[in-house]
Every structure is written in C-alpha cells, then in structure tokens.
Copies of this chain bind each other. A is one copy, B any other.
Amino acid sequence: MSDASALIKLAGKLGSLNRLDAEDRAAILALPHRMRTYDPAAYLVREGQPPGKHCSFIIAGFAFRQKQTAQGTRQIVSINMAGDLLDLQQLFLKISDHNIQALTRLETAELDRAALRALARERPAVGEAMWIDAMIEASIFREWALNVGRRDARARIAHLLCEFATRMKAAGIATDGRYELPMTQEQIGDATGLTGVHVNRTLRSLAADGLIHRDRRFLGFADWDRVRAAADFSALYLHLDQSAPEG
C-alpha cells in the first residue's frame, strides 16, 4: 500500500459522499500524512485526552469505538472498517469522550489534523463530505441505542450481523451472503449489551434455526430476508443513498 493510493482512496470515499471538483481532489491528494499499523486492541484514541495531531483513515482492518462504566463494563458504540475516517467525530472538539481501539490488525493513513481542518474550511465541498460522513456515523449511534434499548438478544445480534454484511458489501470488502466477523463473542456482547455466554447461546440458536451458517468466525446468511426480518433491519439509517449526490 503506497502513500499515494491511500489518498486516492480517501478522495474516492469523500467523492462518494459529496460532489467534488478537480481542485477538491487535488487538495485531498496533497494532504500531509503517513502510513501506520496497529496491533489488535491497540488504542488509537483515549477518552479524557485531547485529540492527537493526526486523524486516522482506515486502509485495511477494523476498529471500534468504546465507552466504559465505572464498574468496568464496556459498551462498543460502533465498528469502523476500511474507508472510514476515525476522527471526524472530534475534529473540532477539545477532549475525546470515547476510546477507539483496533479490532484487528489495522492499517491506517495518519492525516495531519490541522491540515484536515484547513481543508474543510478552504474546500467547502470536502468539508461537507466530511460532515456527511460524521452524520452517518451519528445515525449509526442512534440505531445502536435503539438496538440495545429495545430489541431482544436474538434481534440485537441479528441486527449487528445485518449491519456488518451491508456495510462490508457497500465498502467492497465482502461479497453477498458471506463474510468473516472479526469479533470475539465477548466483543459481540459488548456491542449488543449482552454477555459473551448469552451471545454464544443466541448465535447457536440462530444457526439451529437455519438463519445463519457458522464456521469459526465466518458467517453465511442462509436467507437474507429471514435474517433481516428477525433483526428488524432496515438499511435506511446507513444512508447509502448519499453515494449518489444531488446536483
């Protein structure tokens, strides 16, 4: 993965969210940056600390956002994958309010934070694309609050699986109906407000009912519509329609 191709990916991502002209793209391709790798579980951002001097753009691998209670129980509030910008949520905030950790081995492009802020200001179309990206993730937070607050264990987990499938397909990472879920059952529990033990039972129940097939962490959907119904899943909140910008 060369430096140039990282910025090309970034330009492609932002261009899919808002119409960009040649100058916008040129400004993106001129961003100061460097490549970086994280091990699984490594922290990219820590709650309570000021944001660092750089913003991470995921080239490969997965990351997750997480908060903890005083008793140490953890809630994962969203998952990020290749093509996601991790620091837009706090580009203009003074303190981080949550943690970001690598879920798998993670390859990122570190963009200079000041340069990104300047870019948003000087190239409004790029700034809007960044805004849209951040707003879509805010929508995901809302859906997760609904998921965790009002669905039962089976629907919660099925919903997570559906979101993963939909986003990975949209990001070009996975093809239809089959992918590897890069999470332990304990992490699935942290994302759904359940315990690892109950996640295990629920996944087995979903498989026993023929909704999914499991092999290690590889998941296959036997019947997308049945899983979708069990999950109460609608992709509306992912705003995939933003990919076809209005004039």
Contacts and interface: CB of A to CB of B under 8 A. Distances in A.
Given A95-B241, A145-B145, A232 B70 contact: yes
A67 B33 CA distance: 39
A146 B77 contact: yes
Nearest to A72: B150
A90 B90 CA distance: 18
A128 interface: yes
A35 interface: no
Given A48-B236, A65-B142, A93 B135 contact: yes
A184 interface: no
A145 B48 contact: no
Interface string A117-144: 0001100100110011011111101111
A126 to B, nearest CB: 11
Given A71-B232, A90-B135, 13 more contacts: A68-B146, A73-B150, A91-B135, A92-B135, A93-B239, A93-B242, A95-B239, A97-B236, A120-B124, A134-B134, A144-B145, A149-B192, A150-B193
Interface string A58-98: 00000001011111011101000000000001111111011
